[in-house]
């Protein structure tokens, strides 16, 4: 069964908390000044420090002495520029003074005061295992056979050896199903950079050690998983072969994606949040300057929403907002954007619109939004109002478009259950 296909696109808060509390990897959130503002339980397990001991500290206590404040600032500047720092091996200091080998990564977020999400995997034991392999070659085969990681050896462009864990990851029952193929056969090479070091290495065009790489791998039964590949060229009996360590990181990749989703979306309705919407609006305006297309910014809210909350309760009000957002999604195209800016206020950006058809679009959307809602078996009448501003006709900046759409909404709400275009010359 395909694990990826079975994952829900919108996990519940309880599911997020289960992952946060039970993952083996340390996860912590950095503020833009580099201070830690949140961390999961594995953070304390791996590094020894509790969140209370490190929160808001600019001088991070678990850095090794050779990692200077200047080195830290360089990392922060890279993240502030929007560039994530992919997986790399480093060393960190445990509270008890022990040095830990860590596989670290930083995902740039740059949302409000949040700079990045960091993930640390304790690979101390794995590093010890690697050193044992170098010191005791006669034990190599036994360690490989019982390794918890998949180990694949490729020679002359073809797989020559797989350990039991590799059979498990690939979905094979016996090694003859895999030997003679290439690891590249199980990856979507067309979606990879043609200059990828991983491709060159496995095609044996360039024998170099590459950094850990995350790729989607297709198993023999057709299901897809995300794997981390560490590929190393080694000499064996006078020939250069490639030894690859493959780890299933599907859950970790999924969790990283969900952290990004949480930072960019409204958790209740699933539409993007205000900051993400404004970023997208600025981006679409820059694109429209080149393509000369027209954009429409819609400012929406529900009429008398406060009365719904006061008379029927906030639970009904929340469900109404969720259903309202669902209708918006059903009435726009994939390339259009919906955002929630707070309360019952929403924004819709329509891309590449036809002004001659705009009135028809607005009437259709408005009629659909005003259909009765059914919540808890009861029919609820909740009308909506909309204000519309057009790019470039009304404004060419995001700030003015927002202000003009808001003004148009204000005019529409004077009538209620109405939509109104921005009028530069009101009568």
Structure confidence by residue, pLDDT tens digits, 11-56: 777 887 888 888 999 999 999 999 999 999 999 999 999 999 999 8
- What CA–CA distance (Å, rounded) separates 423 from 395? 11
Q: Does pLDDT of 6 surpass 60?
A: no
pTM score:
0.52
Using pLDDT thresholds of 50, 70 and 90, give the confidence band for residue 425. low
DSSP reduced 3-state for 240: strand
Using pLDDT thresholds of 50, 70 and 90, give the confidence band for residue 201. confident
Quick check: 47 and 101 in contact, CB under 8 A? no
Q: Nearest to residue 214, comparing CAs of 158, 168, 256?
A: 256
- What CA–CA distance (Å, rounded) separates 251 from 7? 10
The CA radius of gyration of the chain, in Å to the nearest whole number, is 27
Tell me the average pLDDT of the chain. Answer: 86
Task: State residue 394's pLDDT score.
Answer: 93
Task: State residue 291's pLDDT score.
Answer: 93
List, for residues 137-151, the tens digit of each pLDDT value: 555 666 667 778 888
48-65 mean pLDDT: 88
List, for residues 259-305, the tens digit of each pLDDT value: 888 889 998 999 999 999 999 999 999 999 999 999 999 999 998 88
């Amino acid at each position: 069964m395909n694990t990826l296909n079975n994952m829900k696109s919108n996990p519940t808060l309880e599911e997020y908390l289960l992952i946060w509390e039970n993952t083996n990897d340390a996860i912590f959130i950095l503020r833009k000044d580099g201070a830690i503002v949140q961390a999961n339980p594995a953070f304390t397990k791996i590094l020894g420090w509790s969140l209370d001991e490190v929160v808001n500290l600019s001088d991070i206590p678990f850095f090794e002495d050779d990692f200077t404040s200047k080195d830290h600032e360089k990392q922060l500047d890279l993240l502030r520029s929007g560039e994530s720092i992919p997986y790399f091996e480093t060393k960190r200091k445990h509270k008890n003074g022990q040095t830990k080998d860590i596989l670290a990564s930083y995902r740039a977020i740059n949302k409000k005061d949040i700079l990045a999400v960091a993930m640390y995997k304790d690979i101390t034991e794995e590093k010890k295992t690697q050193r044992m392999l170098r010191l005791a070659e006669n034990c190599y085969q036994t360690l490989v056979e019982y390794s918890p990681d998949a180990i694949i050896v490729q020679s002359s462009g073809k797989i020559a050896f797989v350990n039991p864990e590799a059979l498990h990851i690939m979905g094979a029952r016996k090694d003859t199903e895999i030997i003679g193929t290439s690891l590249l056969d199980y990856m979507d090479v067309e979606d990879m950079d043609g200059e990828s070091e991983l491709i060159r290495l496995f095609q044996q065009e360039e024998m170099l050690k590459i950094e850990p790489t995350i790729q989607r791998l297709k198993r023999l039964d057709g299901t897809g998983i995300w794997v981390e590949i560490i590929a190393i060229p080694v000499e064996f009996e006078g020939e250069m072969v490639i030894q690859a360590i493959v780890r299933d990181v599907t859950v970790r990749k999924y969790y990283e994606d969900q952290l990004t989703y949480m930072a960019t979306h409204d958790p209740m309705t699933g539409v993007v949040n205000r900051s993400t919407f404004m970023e997208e609006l600025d981006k679409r305006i820059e694109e429209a300057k080149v393509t000369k297309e027209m954009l429409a910014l819609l400012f929406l809210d529900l009429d008398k929403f406060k009365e719904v909350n006061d008379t029927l309760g906030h639970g009904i009000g929340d469900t109404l907002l969720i259903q309202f957002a669902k209708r918006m999604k059903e009435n726009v195209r994939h390339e259009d954007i919906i955002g929630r800016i707070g309360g019952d206020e929403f924004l819709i950006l329509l891309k590449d619109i036809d002004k001659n058809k705009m009135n028809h679009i607005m009437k259709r959307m408005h009629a659909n939004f005003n259909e009765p809602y059914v919540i808890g078996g009861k029919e609820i009448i909740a009308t909506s109002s909309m204000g519309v501003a057009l790019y470039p006709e009304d404004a060419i900046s995001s700030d003015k478009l927002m202000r003009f759409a808001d003004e148009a909404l204000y005019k529409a709400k004077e009538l209620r259950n109405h939509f109104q275009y921005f009028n530069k010359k009101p009568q």
